[in-house]
Structure 1
Amino acid sequence: MLALWDLQKSLPIAGALLIAALALGGCSSQLADYTPTDAQAHSRDSGGYLPVHDLPPDRDEAIIPPDQRAKIEAELAAARDRQAVAAKDAK
């Protein structure tokens, strides 16, 4: 009688798990189904690595002019000082 009681309790749970597995299995599909038909195939060339040792050409001019760089550095230093004062006041 005890085994029958366990079967009656576990049968609905097993059924629910089976239904959930079938429902989730229906949601899965092959990734190839999502590939557009006009997509180009990727080459599997193993020698297609980018040249790591090649460096870009040097630039003669600075990216940020020196006067703007000094202004930015001064603004950052002022912001750092304000944060340090605010942190001391918060303690």
Structure 2
Amino acid sequence: MYVAYLHKLRAGFAAAAFLLSLSLCGCATSTGSSPMDARAEMPARVKPGTYLPVEDLPPPRKNPAMTAEQRSKLQGELTAARDRQGAAAKAQGGPIRD
């Protein structure tokens, strides 16, 4: 009697495993089209002129963005601001980062 129960239990587990594998295989299949139809499922191309092509670069600037004098002035201002913040943090007893 115990042996018959084990056979039924094994058969139940086998059936459950088989049904589980079938349900998982259903999730792995495509949406009804074959992999060869991938081009048919691609979205439509974007209309020309909507986005700039990658290789289409703007023309070079006639004037530089910043002159050397403006760049050095800006670097001096940023260095002074960093030093002021470092002194203020040191005065408050906070951590000083370099």
TM-score range (shorter-chain normalised) is 0.3 to 0.5
TM-score normalised to structure 1 length: 0.45
Larger Rg: 2
TM-score normalised to structure 2 length: 0.43
Which protein, 1 or 2, shows the higher relative CO under an 8 Å CA cutoff with sep ≥ 6? 2
